[in-house]
Amino acid sequence: MFSKLDKVTEILNEVSEQTIVPRFRNLSESDVSYKKGGETVTIADTEAEALLEKRLIDLFTGSQVVGEEKAASIPNILEKIDERELTWVIDPIDGTNNFARGRDIFKTMLALLYQGETVAGWILSPVDKSMLEARKGEGAFWDGQRLDITRSIKALDQSVGTFHGSKDQDPVIRKSLDKNRFRLNTVNTLRCAGADYERLATSKTQFAFFTRLMPWDHLPGELIHREAGGHGACLDRTAYSFSSYNKQGLLLAPNEELWDEIHHRLFST
């Protein structure tokens, strides 16, 4: 059955060429709107997600799909997903604000769940068509080149990373970050989770902490990071999964030892 996954890269590229690339730096005012909470959405987001859903269901008849835009219009959709079934999770344009402003830092992200586990993930750069991908137990690849975070592990004081806050983050977490972030070397985020996962998987950055844990933002990147040799976990030390969206934070590091050290520096009293 999973031999069909070889077709997913082709599907992602075709959908991107049809619905995303033609609208990049070519949006009219009416092509941009705002979801509840003020998040930007464009016609390219909705069209890409709809076409991806159709193509993926055609590929795996009977599979279910949850996308960021569908979730915005259907209350509690995440609670209604049967994780035992084959499930696609789509972020048609991750970094929509960048896309809408003509910045080329945006991605199309896709994950496949089987019996509750992330078994495959893809992060496509629509502009240059570069692709990060991973399958559970088979490693992570960037345009066909195997990724291995373990080859470039640094001591924490020589490492750099990113903090990704959100307006609804837990106030206790925010207070700890504000108090202790000076203990780590940080750089600005790219305002696109997929792009920051690319930096992690290719060892351009060594750690990241996210407080908004929606599955379309993290399932593909977390699997790619893990298959490249990295370690990630929620703050309560449980593994990240589709149902982790109510957790307080997700921390990613090159290995468990550095994860523990980062956690201690950020949240020790």
Question: Which pLDDT tens digits describe the chain residue by residue (269 residues)?
Answer: 577 899 999 999 999 999 999 999 999 999 999 987 789 999 999 999 999 999 999 999 999 999 999 999 998 899 988 888 899 999 999 999 999 999 999 999 999 999 989 999 999 999 999 999 999 999 999 999 999 999 999 999 999 999 997 766 788 888 999 999 999 999 999 999 999 999 999 999 999 999 999 999 999 999 999 999 999 999 999 999 999 999 989 999 999 999 999 999 999 86
Domains of the chain: 2-146 (3.30.540.10), 149-267 (3.40.190.80)
Please give the angle made by the CA atoms of 192, 188 and 145, to the nearest 5 degrees.
55
Whole-model pTM: value is 0.96
* CB within 8 Å of 78: residues ≥ 6 apart: 66, 71, 215, 242, 243, 245
CA distances to 59, 60, 83, 142 from 86, in Å:
12, 9, 7, 25
Q: Quickly list DSSP for 12-39.
A: HHHHIIIIIGGGTT---GGGEEE-TTS-
Length of the chain: 269
- Cβ–Cβ under 8 Å, residues 109 and 140: no
